[in-house]
A and B are shown apart, each in its own frame.
Chain A
């Protein structure tokens, strides 16, 4: 009976992963297409766009690094800039390492394909297949949209359209929806374990939002990630304990 259930679960893992990843993959596509179009304007080749989308795979990092195409900067300076922007991935990678395959190479590839949206789509009890399907789907969408944006740059003025329409908004909306859904699930889980009251949960979340807002206003949106995640993690650990 158990083996039948396990077989059924693994058989459904790919469609289940695709079903959850597809709307997210659609939402990130306009951002990557915009990057492709801007890279075309900055005289990048198609191969370079494919390489940066596949090996870089980071919206914020790619957009931030693009203006340096025509300036002479060293690798260390670029590394410092992109690492500062992307250091938020460190806690995400640590928190999701249990869901990854055991083999080192597969684990490394899955780790590279970790994105904000993938992290927010995955659940703690997801199987390795579901996690790999979600990450691959979003990754493929990112790379293919970058290529599409590059190829369509001459036909469709994507860069001009982005000034009139909020092309980055779909990804932000999807990420916000997923974050709230995950927070609801996590709150439900901790309420079952700790028997905490609804009122205390609301107070804790309000305080956490206040701390995050204070930190983003003080440090700015680039460098607030690690201090904010660290502060809030300690805060929630203390709340759960007390």
Chain B
């Protein structure tokens, strides 16, 4: 087996473990769990994402802050905000 084949197999197995199997789990959850899955869990995921983005893109902090402010105040929409952010990141 070549290294490329090993890498592809490892990534596919990972996808099965972390995405496919949890998606297939079909358990009748109580109402409290549903509320947890639709409120606190997504909030936790999105804050973790946001903090991670600021951490890995710390070199483009100003551009990210602009994107963040535009998103908070729902100013010009996703495409325009991304373009402005990219222009600032490329210029600085």
Contact of A169 among B4, B12, B45, B63 (CB under 8 A): B63
Cβ of A148 under 8 Å from chain B: no
| Chain A residue nearest to B23 in the complex (CB) | A111
Cβ of A94 under 8 Å from chain B: yes
Interface residue tally for chain B (C-beta within 8 Å)? 62
| Chain B residue nearest to A27 in the complex (CB) | B82
Cβ of A176 under 8 Å from chain B: yes
The CA of A74 and the CA of B17, in the complex, are separated in Å by: 18
Number of residue pairs spanning A and B whose beta carbons lie under 8 angstroms apart:
256
Q: Judge whether A179 and B50 touch: CB under 8 Å.
A: yes
Give chain A's interface residue range (CB within 8 Å of chain B).
35 or more
Given A62-B11, A112-B15, A186-B43, also A172-B57 (CB < 8 A): yes
The CA of A217 and the CA of B8, in the complex, are separated in Å by: 31
| Chain B residue nearest to A228 in the complex (CB) | B48
User: Which residues of the other chain, B, contact A55 by a CB distance below 8 angstroms?
Assistant: 8, 11-12, 15
Residues of chain A touching chain B, judged by Cβ–Cβ distance below 8 Å, are: 23, 27, 44-45, 48, 51-52, 55-58, 61-62, 65-66, 68-75, 78-79, 81-83, 86-98, 100, 104, 107-108, 110-112, 114, 116, 119-120, 124, 165-166, 168-170, 172-184, 186-187, 189-190, 205, 208-209, 212-213, 216, 221, 224-225, 228-237, 239-240
